[in-house]
A and B are shown apart, each in its own frame.
Chain A
Amino acid sequence: MRRATALALAMALAVPLPLGAQTTGSTRLVGRVPPAAQPAIDSIIAIAVAESLPTEPLIQKTLEGSAKNVPPDRLVSGVRRGLLQLRAAHLIVAEALPGQPVPDAHVVAVAAALARGVPEPIVTRLVTLAPTEAPGPALHAVADLIAHHFNPDSAVDLLVEAHNKGLRGMRLLDVAVAADHYLQRGGGRTPAEALAHVRAMLPNVPPAEAVTRHGTNGS
């Protein structure tokens, strides 16, 4: 046992990890990235580290592309696109929190909303609404409404009103679910009517289940 420990320690000392790999978690990429893409991926992650951007989404995108056997050039393009979204997200959050540290979780959530196609002004408005709160649920709520053909400005108006009436976190997702359910009940209802219906309910929108069942509650 003692010999095994000594051997493991010797191996760890003999193969030191690059400093960047130790701090970014990119050791998870070892052996999973096509060799042709490896230098470009390393470069993109190094840029993210240099700009104080979170690297986890880039690592995830690399692992995803490798698992899907995406050709190296497209894999690198996908990860680079992720870097650009993180950069844009960092700017939005930094403007919403002037003079304060930019939380990685905020940047990741904003980047995810941009990836889902939420327009930057909408994202900015929701992040600025409550800069110290986690913006993820509100951003997903508005992204859901936009994906279901609700007017983006009207959708964000509803979410701002819900927030003003005390709804926070995942309860903001319930607002989007309630509007979508009202619309799907048919009878010629329009998205505007659905938003008006939910606005009249605020803050008493029905809560969704904790267990995520796809296709039943839209979560």
Chain B
Amino acid sequence: MSPIDPRLQEALDGERDPGTLPADLREAYDRLTGAAQLLAGAPRLSVSARVMAQIRKAPHPQPGESSTQRALRWLGRPRAVTVRLRPMWTLALAAGLTAVLLLPFQNGSTPQPGNAEGVAQFVGHFPGARSVEVVGSFNDWSRGMLHLNDDDGDGIWHGAAVLPAGQHEYMFVVDGERWVPDPLAGRYVDDGFGAGQQNSLLIVRPATAEP
């Protein structure tokens, strides 16, 4: 630490007229007095004082406040979050998201039948329906395996599936509860359970040319 010039010290202590200082010391005098004025204008708060001020500003539970209101207030308060990422897991997550984003395009493409298989297209007019699926002998009469789509909301539901060539019985299930024969099937067969209900009948032609 370099010692301060005695003349500058005397001027800062008010014991000497700053105008009598040489030019270099006068410049230093001006910088020091300017800095002193800035410090004098700043609030004089210690760290503990600032922390206590933040605590006082933070909202406190009100006497009549319910647990739901407290939870909402807790959720709405900004918080610092630290996220630590491993590159390997980040890449795996990115690959998974990519696969999910690509899936709708795969579903929208035309299914490709193999040997002894054919493509069946299903269309039904069900205005106002929330869901339509096809359930039949080709999927062991299981739900949730072949959903039809109505992307434009016009009430016309459609879908396609690759099925083994041959005969299949099926029905549409509308909104998960209403069993309806396919009005366009053209072939029907009594389901045999004594209530007069008919299954739709589908005959899938093999996509490969026949001899």
Contact = CB atoms under 8 A, between A and B. Distances in A.
Interface of A: 28, 60-61, 63-68, 70, 74-75, 77-78, 81-82, 109, 112, 115-116, 136-137, 140, 143-144, 147, 168-171, 173, 208, 210-215, 218-219
Given A67-B135, A211-B207, 12 more contacts: A60-B140, A63-B141, A64-B141, A64-B191, A67-B142, A68-B141, A74-B194, A77-B193, A170-B205, A170-B206, A210-B205, A214-B123
Given A208-B205, A210-B207, A211-B119, A147 B187 contact: yes
Nearest to B166: A136
B118 interface: yes
A73 B77 CA distance: 62
Interface stretch (B3-11, B22-30, B91-99, B177-185): B177-185
B202 A65 contact: no
B186 A214 contact: yes
15 contacts: A61-B192, A63-B140, A70-B193, A115-B192, A140-B187, A147-B188, A169-B210, A170-B205, A173-B203, A210-B119, A211-B120, A212-B118, A212-B204, A213-B123, A214-B184
Chain A interface SS verdict (over half): helix
B35 interface: no
Given A64-B137, A64-B191, A74-B195, A215 B142 contact: no
A144 B188 CA distance: 10
A127 to B, nearest CB: 16
Contacts, number: 106
A208 B205 CA distance: 9
Contacts of A173: 203, 205
Contact of A218 (B167, B182, B186, B194): B186
Nearest to B209: A210
A64 B142 CA distance: 9
A82 B193 contact: no
A22 B39 CA distance: 91
B165 to A, nearest CB: 8
A82 B203 contact: no
B143 interface: yes
A215 B184 contact: yes
A44 B7 CA distance: 120
B211 interface: yes
A109 B203 CA distance: 12
